[in-house]
Amino acid sequence: MTAHHDTLQVGAPDPELRNSPIYDEMERDSLDPDLAIETGACYFNDRRFSLGDYVCSGDELLKCEERGVWVRRGSCHPA
């Protein structure tokens, strides 16, 4: 999937700010059920995003998915 021109560019995650975990598509199904992940929102550099939101971190397209994790969905640059 490629990003639309209006997908927010959030830059690189700052380790000193709140960030939800980022997973590859295949890793998403193997999330540890004991992980204390907030449901209903994802965070990137202290900014809250709703489930289903897309952002660009560099050229990676991320989608906020259930359990409040980011899942890599491809490139932010058209092929």
Which amino acid is present at 56? C
Q: What is the pLDDT of residues 30-61, one digit of tens each?
A: 666 555 566 689 999 999 999 999 999 999 99
Q: Model's pTM, two decimal places?
A: 0.80
The runs of H, that is alpha helices, within the chain are: none
8-state DSSP, 39: S
Q: How far apart are the first and last CA of the chain?
A: 10
Strand partners for 72: 62
pLDDT for residue 3 is more than 50: no
- Give domain limits for the chain: 8-75
